[in-house]
Amino acid sequence: MDDFELNAISCDGIEECKKALTLKSKNVLKANFIEGMACVGGCIGGAGCLTHGAKDKMQVDKYGQEAMEKSILDAISILS
């Protein structure tokens, strides 16, 4: 499928997801891929978290920066 061109949209929060899906169902949304996060700000800021502050996001970001694996390919390569 060489002629496929990705036209993605990212939705932050359940309301944005609902809006995008509604627009797509009416053929108004031009995107052909919808990435939706039900929690505003992603899981770290979502309802399932016990804490919701900027400090928590900073800790996740710090952990990511310290990780030896910097890409998905790096991460899965250690499994084999």
| Res 50: pLDDT | 63
Residue 42 DSSP class: S
| Res 65: pLDDT | 86
| CA–CA distance, 73 with 58 (Å, rounded to integer) | 24
**What are the helix (H) ranges across the chain?**
14-25, 54-66, 72-77
pTM for the predicted model, two decimal places: 0.55
pLDDT in tens, 8-60: 999 988 999 999 999 999 999 999 999 998 877 777 655 566 666 677 778 87
